Amino acid sequence: MADDTITAEDPITGDEIEIPANVEVGEIIDSPITGAELEVVSVDPVVLEEAPELEEDWGE
């Protein structure tokens, strides 16, 4: 069985990209177009935003 994918809009380029169908809110994926990290902010419909840059000391 092939991995199910869905399409979403890359927020940087506006292009349609394929992402796994089982993504969850808060998940980080790499854009196949720009290589940028994108954060899933909604799954119905799927909305992606450019992931914020993490600080070196996050989580402390």
Would you state the pLDDT for residue 29? Answer: 95
Strands (E) in the chain, as ranges, are 5-9, 16-20, 28-30, 37-43, 46-50
Would you state the pLDDT for residue 52? Answer: 84
Give the CA count within 13 Å in the CB-facing half-sphere of 11.
15
The model carries a pTM of 0.80
| CA-based nearest residue to 26, from 52, 7, 6 | 52
Cα angle 48, 50, 55 (rounded to 5 degrees) comes to 135
Domain spans, the chain: 1-28
pLDDT digits over 1-59, tens only? 456 999 999 999 999 999 999 999 999 999 999 999 999 999 999 999 999 876 665 55
